[in-house]
Structure 1
Amino acid sequence: MRVVLFFDLPMVTNEDKKRYRKFRKFLIKEGFIMVQESVYSKLVLNSGSARFIYKKVDQNKPTYGLIQLLTITEKQYNNIEFVLGKSSSNILDDIERVIII
């Protein structure tokens, strides 16, 4: 499963920018990977893990803006069709184990 997070935060004042940076750092610390600007995804094992992530995002949300969460299966995520541009191959974002020798 995968949790996809979409957000749109105000960036008008210095305080807005500070809140944006703090929220983005939280996402990265929690293991979210940037898919494109303001769209992040995170692999989760099951719906319980997804609910836990939902709660953590709610606890760390900024004061203003729009944040949306969507849980989809890995099969659904892999069916993403690129209309323009291409997938970044330098990002490891699957559930396969990595062994570096």
Structure 2
Amino acid sequence: MWMIVLFDLPVMTKKERKAASQFRTGLLNKGFHMSQFSVYYRLISGREAFDSYVADIKKNLPKAGKVDIVSITDRQYEDIVSFSGKKREKSKQNPTQLVLF
């Protein structure tokens, strides 16, 4: 399953810019990847992991702004259609799962 964090944070003052930057850095430190400047995604193992990440993100929310967190299945992730300018980007592929013996 995939976890997507979408946010719109105020950046008008120096304090707001710092809070927004810390929030983004926190997501990167938790293993998220940037899709767009305010859209980050991460592969997670299931509902328990999702709930754990939501709780952790909630503790680090800036005082102002809007944050949405969405979970989607691997199949839904593969169906994402992306464009860069007018050129269609290659479809996203799920990472291969490691098997440990």
**CA RMSD for the aligned pairs?**
2.0
Deviation at 1:96, TM superposition (A): 2.1
Identity %: 28
Deviation, 1:37, is 1.9
> What secondary structure, in the 3-state scheme, does the structure 1 residue paired with 2:4 have?
strand
> Secondary structure at 2:70's aligned position in 1?
strand
Structure 2 gap segments, 5+ residues each: none
Aligned length: 94
What's the counterpart of residue 43 of structure 1? 43
Opposite residue 54 of structure 1, the aligned amino acid is: V
Which aligned segments of 4 or more residues in structure 1 are displaced greater than 4 angstroms?
none
Match in the other structure for 1:23: 23
Does 1:59 find its partner at 2:96? no
- Normalised by the length of structure 1, the TM-score is 0.84
2:78–2:94: 8 Å Cα contact kept in structure 1? no
1:81 and 1:32 map into 2 onto residues whose CA distance is 20
Cα deviation for residue 53 of structure 1 reads 0.6
Q: Which has the higher contact order (CA 8 A, sep 6+)?
A: 1
| Counterpart residue number, 2:11 | 11
1:71-95 C-alpha deviation (Å, 9 max, x unpaired): 110110110012x31548xxxx843
* Structure 1 residues without counterparts, runs of 5 or longer: none
Aligned match of 1:72: 72
